[in-house]
Amino acid sequence: MTKPMTKTQLVAALAEEMGADKKTATAALDGIVALITREVSGGGAVTLQGVGKIYCRERPARTVRNPATGETMQKPADKVVKMTIAKALKDSVNG
């Protein structure tokens, strides 16, 4: 398994793909991340064609068990960010 791409590597690749400098690519990437964060934290969803859909889902309150002590406790309801991967990306990885 290879190491994940770092932000620096992603910015460099994005700059090359855009034909722009790294400063412009960094601003574009940071802007996209900020928009996705704002939309998903507000209860919305973001669909990136060919990549997938990022959304927030609410989990109900539930009983959980501490594996170290065996003690059961009530965990309150919370929200979790999910991502559904697009079929096109799955097919390109498997194909």
Q: Return d(Cα 10, Cα 95) in angstroms, integer.
A: 24
The pLDDT value given to residue 2: 86
pTM for this one? 0.78
Q: How far does CA 6 lie from the centroid of its chain? A: 14
Q: Return d(Cα 95, Cα 40) in angstroms, integer.
A: 31
Percentage above 90 pLDDT, the chain: 97
Q: What is the rounded (10 degree) CA torsion for 52, 56, 60, 64? A: 70
Please give the single-letter amino acid code of residue 57: R
pLDDT by residue (tens digit) across 1-39? 789 999 999 999 999 999 999 999 999 999 999 999 999
Position 74 pLDDT exceeds 90 = yes
* SS3 call for 73: strand
The pLDDT value given to residue 25: 96
Rounded to the nearest 5°, which phi and psi values hold at 74? Answer: -90, 125
Segment 47-69 shows an average pLDDT of 95
The pLDDT value given to residue 95: 82
The domains of the chain, with CATH numbers, are 1-42 (no CATH), 45-95 (4.10.520.10)
Identify which of 1, 23, 3, 4 has the alpha carbon closest to the alpha carbon of residue 12. Answer: 23
